[in-house]
């Protein structure tokens, strides 16, 4: 068999597909061809991808984004984020829903909530294995906004004994202290790095609100409104880069898939969730990476999980137990979801989401 002419891609596009529209033309030597199939090329010509390393075996410690051609298996490979999955964690001490969540997968807080009936002030701390009861909120509440870390968090608004509240409390790692109130009593979503900076977003007063307030460590200030009012949504991020998604709105059809991105000054509508829902939980550090999971009612689509890449949402692995009005914390690749209302009633279940790096074979399909 003689040489053959090939048009070989010089880049890989989204989904691992080979892009040959701007390929490189070269001759494959006859000695490298077992038959006319490209899958049987035994050597990867340098001119077809000089920037791709040719290795006899996969590297023992690749770096994220690294790509290479394995000359033993004749496959093109990369080291990148693989598919994520939920795994069972330690159960809450008190089963509840409409609770708040802050922190990370291995160091988080579960704040307040409702036993249906009965609002609680309970706070629990998670160490990656089990929950421990710590000092309570000063005021029992459900559906409050919250943000921060296990040692520096803020809780604000929510539904207290008989009505929506403006109360704000600050957590120093040991106890809660009442600080300056929100300007408007409501049931908001929250975002922020710690107890010195936060956003209180939307919520039901009633009616549902577009209000956004910013916390500077001392007081709340009204800033630019959401484009669409909502409650029962969730959010993530910090005061300069946040995301809010889903929830219920004042007008038909009631439940929304709307997503809005905050750049530190104003909100912009971006691509919607694939499934409109309320009572979901979120995780993520800014407006470029997020995880949204769960929904009310808990039967369907209560287990759905979607992942935000800064442009669009994609459905990924479902929760083991579908539930709504649960709490979430962590990042897009390492998150935690706990509590909520399951088909059987109040839930104490905790699930941990992990999306790790792995060696992947790139194919043309």
Q: Which has the minimum average pLDDT: 16-20, 230-234, 297-301, 342-346?
A: 16-20
Nearest to 85 by CA among 311, 305, 314, 359: 305
Q: What is the mean pLDDT of residues 124-151?
A: 98
CB-based contacts of 14, cutoff 8 Å, min separation 6: none
- What is 85-354's CATH number? 2.120.10.80
Q: Per-residue pLDDT tens for 44-90? A: 555 555 568 899 998 988 888 889 899 999 989 888 777 899 999 99
Q: Where in the chain is the domain with CATH 2.120.10.80?
A: 85-354
Query: Looking at residue 36, what is its pLDDT?
Result: 46
Query: Looking at residue 31, what is its pLDDT?
Result: 60
Ramachandran angles phi, psi of 16, nearest 5°: 80, 10
Tell whether the model's pLDDT for residue 201 goes beyond 70. Answer: yes
Q: Answer whether 0.85 is exceeded by the pTM.
A: no
- d(C-alpha 190, C-alpha 73), whole Å: 50
- d(C-alpha 115, C-alpha 131), whole Å: 17
Tell whether the model's pLDDT for residue 7 goes beyond 90. Answer: no
- Tell which wins on pLDDT, 264 or 61: 264
Paired tokens of 16 = 């691992």
- Tell which wins on pLDDT, 126 or 17: 126
- d(C-alpha 322, C-alpha 302), whole Å: 4
Ramachandran angles phi, psi of 81, nearest 5°: -65, 130
Tell whether the model's pLDDT for residue 324 goes beyond 90. Answer: yes
- d(C-alpha 212, C-alpha 284), whole Å: 19
Q: Per-residue pLDDT tens for 11-23? A: 555 555 545 445 4
Paired tokens of 86 = 């939920």
- Tell which wins on pLDDT, 43 or 166: 166
């Amino acid at each position: 068999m003689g040489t053959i002419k090939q048009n070989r891609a010089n880049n890989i596009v989204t989904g691992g597909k080979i892009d040959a529209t701007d390929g490189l033309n070269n001759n494959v030597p006859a000695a490298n061809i077992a038959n006319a199939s490209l899958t049987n090329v035994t050597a990867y010509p340098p001119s077809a991808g000089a920037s791709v390393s040719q290795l006899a075996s996969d590297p023992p410690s690749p770096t994220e984004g690294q790509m290479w051609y394995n000359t033993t298996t004749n496959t093109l490979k990369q080291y990148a984020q693989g598919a994520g999955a939920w795994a069972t964690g330690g159960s809450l001490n008190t089963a509840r829903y409409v609770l708040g969540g802050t922190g990370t997968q291995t160091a988080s807080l579960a704040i307040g909530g409702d036993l249906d009936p009965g609002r609680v002030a309970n706070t629990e701390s998670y160490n990656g294995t089990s929950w421990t009861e710590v000092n309570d909120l000063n005021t029992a509440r459900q559906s409050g906004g919250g943000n921060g870390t296990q040692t520096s968090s803020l809780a604000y608004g929510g539904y207290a004994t008989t009505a929506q509240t403006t109360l704000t409390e600050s957590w120093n790692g040991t106890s809660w202290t009442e600080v300056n109130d929100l300007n408007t009593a409501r049931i908001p979503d929250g975002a922020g790095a710690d107890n010195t900076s936060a956003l209180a977003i939307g919520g039901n007063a009633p009616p549902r609100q577009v209000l956004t307030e910013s916390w500077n460590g001392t007081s709340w200030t009204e800033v630019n409104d959401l484009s669409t009012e909502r409650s029962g949504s969730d959010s993530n991020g910090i005061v300069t880069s946040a995301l809010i998604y889903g929830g219920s709105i004042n007008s038909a059809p009631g439940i929304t898939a709307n997503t809005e991105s905050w750049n530190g000054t104003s909100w912009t509508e971006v691509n919607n969730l694939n499934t409109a829902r309320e009572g979901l939980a979120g995780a993520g550090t800014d407006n470029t990476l997020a995880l949204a999971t769960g929904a009310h009612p808990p039967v369907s689509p209560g287990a759905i999980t979607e992942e935000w890449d800064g442009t669009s949402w994609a459905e990924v692995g479902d929760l083991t137990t579908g539930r709504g009005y649960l709490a979430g914390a962590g990042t897009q690749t390492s998150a935690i979801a706990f509590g909520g209302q399951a088909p059987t009633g109040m839930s104490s279940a905790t699930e941990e989401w992990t999306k790790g790096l792995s060696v992947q074979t790139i194919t043309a399909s």
